[in-house]
């Protein structure tokens, strides 16, 4: 009995330590997010003062959000641009990577492996080194300073990872399922749409999350390829707010912008986290 009691006590202590460590780690990660949200509701004058305490002493205020809404063409114009670019990037990336991943996984064609390695190897090319060629190409095509051009650039940068993820997702699905559908007379696109697509939804969710986060938070390409202020995305707006006028920075407006930018990212991740975790491990074990 004494040995059993001692073992149970050690197990309880170990469990408490484990959960305490997890709680402390979670608080460390959540603290910056909570601080940004709380500071965004401080009055502008109070937001410029030392950060402690992080909550608004004089009571919550929407003054920072009102100031941000009046900046430039208005926060909702830039948020709409970011939403259009991100949504288009997600849709195009998912469609192209879905078809390409299915092709690389299920079909045989000349130089299949060499082509796949060539696509993946483009990840090693620094994005900054091809900005000038991209600018010249978009100018020749008449797509410079357009949201369409930005979407094409983001899709191009996202496709290597997306195709890799979707090929692994299709590889994890037994071919016998597809063969059974073919025997029943289903066409290739019917098999892909009705049979394979529901089975690779975790991979699709992973591609969608990565494409959205990359396009929503991307700054450098939007800054260089867009010259019309009304077409700026949220990251470019935040850089302009951060620079301030005459050396002054409206920290309240900055934190309110940060809060608005991270809200869709958190919502999307929480909504698709189950599929996202399954998608990352797709194809890892056969």
Class of domain 71-280: mainly alpha
Peptide bond into 184 cis (omega under 30): no
pLDDT at position 96 = 93
Lowest mean pLDDT among 59-63, 162-166, 229-233: 59-63
- The separation between the first and the last C-alpha atoms of the chain, rounded to the nearest angstrom, is 45
Given a contact cutoff of 8 angstroms between Cβ atoms, the answer to whether 228 and 145 are in contact is: yes
Q: Is the pLDDT of residue 144 over 50?
A: yes
Six-digit token string for 243: 């620079």
Determine the Cα–Cα distance for residues 165 and 74; give it in Å rounded to an integer: 37
Structure tokens at 161: 């990872």
- To 5 degrees, how large is the angle CA 47–CA 51–CA 54? 85
Give the model confidence (pLDDT) of 172-205 as tens digits: 888 887 778 777 777 778 877 788 888 888 888 8
Of 158-167, 209-218, 244-253, the poorest mean pLDDT is in 244-253
For the chain, the structural domain boundaries read 2-63, 71-280
């Amino acid at each position: 009995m004494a040995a059993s009691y001692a073992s149970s006590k050690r197990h309880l202590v170990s469990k408490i330590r484990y959960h305490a460590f997890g709680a402390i780690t979670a608080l460390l990660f959540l603290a910056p997010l909570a601080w940004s949200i709380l500071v965004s509701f401080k009055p502008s004058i109070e937001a410029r003062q030392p950060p402690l305490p992080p909550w608004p002493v004089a009571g919550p205020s929407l003054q920072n959000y009102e100031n941000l809404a009046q900046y430039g063409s208005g926060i909702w114009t830039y948020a709409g641009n970011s939403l259009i670019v991100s949504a288009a990037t997600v849709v195009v990336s998912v469609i192209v990577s879905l078809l390409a991943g299915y092709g690389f996984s299920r079909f045989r064609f000349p130089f299949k492996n060499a082509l796949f390695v060539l696509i993946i190897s483009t990840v090693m090319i620094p994005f900054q080194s091809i900005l000038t060629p991209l600018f010249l190409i978009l100018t020749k095509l008449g797509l410079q300073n357009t949201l369409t051009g930005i979407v094409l650039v983001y899709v191009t940068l996202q496709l290597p990872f997306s195709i890799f993820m979707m090929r692994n997702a299709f590889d994890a699905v037994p071919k016998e399922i597809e063969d059974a559908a073919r025997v029943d007379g289903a066409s290739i696109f019917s098999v892909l749409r009705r049979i394979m697509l529901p089975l690779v939804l975790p991979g699709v969710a992973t591609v969608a999350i990565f494409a959205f986060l990359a396009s929503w938070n991307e700054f450098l390409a939007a800054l260089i390829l867009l010259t019309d202020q009304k077409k700026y995305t949220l990251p470019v707006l935040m850089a302009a707010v951060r620079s301030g006028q005459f050396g002054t920075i409206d920290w309240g407006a900055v934190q309110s912008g940060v809060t608005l930018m991270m809200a869709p990212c958190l919502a999307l991740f929480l909504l698709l986290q189950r599929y996202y975790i399954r998608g990352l491990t797709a194809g890892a074990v056969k």
